[in-house]
Amino acid sequence: MNFPKPCNWRWKWKRSLSRLFGASALMLVSSVALAVPERVISAGHSITELVLALGGGDSLIAVDSSTRLPADFRALPVVGYYRHLPAEGLLAQNPQLLVGGNHMGPANTLTLLENSGVEIVQLPEAESGEQLLENIQRLGEVLGKPIEAVKQSVEEQLASLARARAALSQPPRILFVRAQSGRGLKAAGVGTSPDSLIRLAGGVNVVTFDGYKQLSDEALVELRPDWILFSDDQAEQLRDGAELLVWQPLLKLTPAGKRAAFFAVDGYALLGGLGLASLREAKKLNDKISVDR
């Protein structure tokens, strides 16, 4: 008598389960691949620097006017200034992602883009090395890029700056100004990019108010800065600082004025909080004030 062969249900069950897991894994990989943006607009120089450093240059399709691209990078459309971005110009680029700082705007432009399906990522404008590292972490996640090499480089630079600050016998008093002939000087106070740069380099900002404010002639003398900084976009106009003593003669009574202790900072290192350019400028400034002390 012939009996039917028993069905190997365990083998069939395992094979079905294997196929199910295989299909699920394939769907997961596909969804992750789709989540990585291929058309990115970056607004703000410090943000764009990070995008490029993380290897996101291939997906970059446009930048804002505050961005300085490397000389050997391909030409990209410029879509306004990061604080005043035009919705039409951005949408014309068909972006998947717009990334910038927390001052990126205006709000109605960002809302319109979000309603059009564009992902908006706003990173805090870093005021410290720790916040810069957090931005690198977040941006790497958004772009789907590894962060280890960039993170290690930044950590090494921050450690080097920490050692250099510790080696200063006394932190110098530093004043950052924006100058215009006949209209006095505006100083950068707490919460500004120059303030973060000064502290990173090992100096003390001589003003304690928030933001930028006009300084009286008397205040210039009372603040007694050891160094006076300004953006390099004013370097020619200010004749590397010498013109400041002409416009504001009372500066001659300060330690900085007596020694002509002026330093022009790369203006791009002051846009959008601390970034990679800020670390380089902090090192240059520390070198200056260390020799001087």
Residue boundaries of the structural domains of the chain: 40-146, 170-292
User: Where on the phi/psi map is residue 4: left (φ > 0), alpha (ψ -120 to 50), or beta?
Assistant: beta
Rounded to whole angstroms, how far apart are CA atoms 189 and 253? Answer: 22
> 177, 175, 228: which is closest to 204 by C-alpha?
175
Residue 75, CA distances (Å) to 11, 25, 68, 71, 126 in order:
59, 39, 11, 9, 27
Residue where the block lists tokens 């020799």 = 291
Q: What is the pLDDT along the chain (293 residues), one digit of tens a residue?
A: 454 555 554 555 455 545 554 544 444 443 444 478 999 999 999 999 999 999 999 999 999 999 999 999 999 999 999 999 999 999 999 999 999 999 999 999 999 999 999 999 999 999 999 999 999 999 999 999 999 999 999 999 999 999 999 999 999 999 999 987 677 899 999 999 999 999 999 999 999 999 999 999 889 899 999 999 999 999 999 999 999 999 999 999 999 999 999 999 999 999 989 999 999 999 999 999 998 65
pTM for the full predicted model? 0.84
Contact of 197 with 278, CB cutoff 8 Å: yes
CATH superfamily for 170-292 is Nitrogenase molybdenum iron protein domain (3.40.50.1980)
Query: Residue 187: what are its φ and ψ, rounded to 5°?
Result: -105, 145
Pairing status of strand 97-101 against strand 119-123: parallel
* Per-residue confidence (pLDDT) for residue 19, from 0 to 100: 56
Fold agreement between 40-146 and 170-292: yes
**CA neighbor of 162 nearest in space, from 286, 291, 264:** 286
Q: List Cα–Cα distances, 56 to 38, 48, 140, 150, 158, in angstroms.
A: 9, 9, 9, 12, 23
pLDDT score, position 274: 95
CA–CA separation, 79 and 83 (whole Å): 11
pLDDT of residue 183: 78
* Per-residue confidence (pLDDT) for residue 29, from 0 to 100: 41
Q: Which fold would CATH assign to domain 40-146?
A: Rossmann fold (3.40.50)
pLDDT, position 218:
87
Alpha carbons 5 and 216: distance in angstroms, whole number: 101
The single residue listed with the structure tokens 């900002």 is: 205
260 CB-near residues (< 8 Å, 6+ apart): 241, 242, 245
